[in-house]
């Protein structure tokens, strides 16, 4: 069975605890492809319907860049707020406080 690059991404995203968020770059770096953060985002595009909490994944600045890909822009924000994350101006409040880095949390 050949696991795709995406499956790795999904595995990590699914490990994100509730009330926490991570960035594409963090995941990419965890996979060893720091410059390939785009692939992570691409994987998220496929993540729909795969039990992958893509709404917990934002860009390196805590900005909800992919909110439009949820169908409607407010869904992602609503989901994050529902988990206790405050969103201000399409950005995560206290981003560094809720930031979840697989490199650290998984203690690679």
Footprint on this chain of DNA (rule: CB under 7 A): 4-6, 23-26, 28-29, 33-42, 44-45, 47-48, 54-55, 57, 59-61, 65-66, 69-70
CA gap 74, 71 in Å, rounded: 9
Q: Which residue's CB is nearer to DNA, number 93 or number 95?
A: 95
Q: What is the DSSP letter of 36?
A: G
Q: Which residue's CB is nearer to DNA, number 34 or number 94?
A: 34
CA gap 100, 105 in Å, rounded: 7
Q: Which residue's CB is nearer to DNA, number 5 or number 93?
A: 5
CA gap 89, 5 in Å, rounded: 32
Q: How many CB atoms neighbour CB 76 within 10 A?
A: 24
Least distance (Å) from DNA to the CB of residue 24?
4
Least distance (Å) from DNA to the CB of residue 37?
3
């Amino acid at each position: 069975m050949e696991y795709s690059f995406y499956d790795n991404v999904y595995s990590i995203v699914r490990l994100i605890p509730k009330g926490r968020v991570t960035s594409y770059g963090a995941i990419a770096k965890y996979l060893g492809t720091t410059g390939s953060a785009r692939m992570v985002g691409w994987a998220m595009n496929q993540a729909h319907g795969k039990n992958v909490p893509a709404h917990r994944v934002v860009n390196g600045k805590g900005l909800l860049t992919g909110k439009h890909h949820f169908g409607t822009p407010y869904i992602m924000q609503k989901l994050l707020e529902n988990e206790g994350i405050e969103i201000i101006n399409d950005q995560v409040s206290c981003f560094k406080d809720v930031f979840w880095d697989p490199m650290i949390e998984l203690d690679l």
